[in-house]
Amino acid sequence: MSDPTNPTLSPDTQAMLDCLRQVVSKTLERKRRVGQYSVEWTGKAPFAVGDDAPESLQLPQQYDYE
């Protein structure tokens, strides 16, 4: 039985996943450079990152998601 947390992907699927990761990374970096906030996911709830992020989506300073 295969490990469900680390499935083996076909080469085409892995290429698509790599491409999506690259696009997301570039988009988040571009938003950071131009001063726009981004919304990310903690695994439990969304939160906003950036100076202009809505207060309702900002994380409390004492909460560490990393």
Residue 44's nearest CA partner among 63, 17, 24 is 63
- At 42 the pLDDT is 81
Give per-residue pLDDT as tens, 21-47.
999 999 999 999 999 999 988 888 889
Q: Is the pLDDT of residue 3 over 80?
A: no
pLDDT surpassing 70 at residue 60: no
Rounded to two decimals, what is the model's pTM?
0.64
Predicted confidence (pLDDT) at residue 5 exceeds the cutoff of 90: no
How far, in Å, CA of 30 to CA of 24, rounded?
10
Q: What is the mean pLDDT of the chain?
A: 84
Tokens of 48: 């906003």
Per-residue three-class SS string for the chain: CCCCCCCCCCHHHHHHHHHHHHHHHHHHHHHHHHCCCEEEECCCCEEEECCCCCHHHCCCCCCCCC
Where do the domains of the chain lie? 33-60
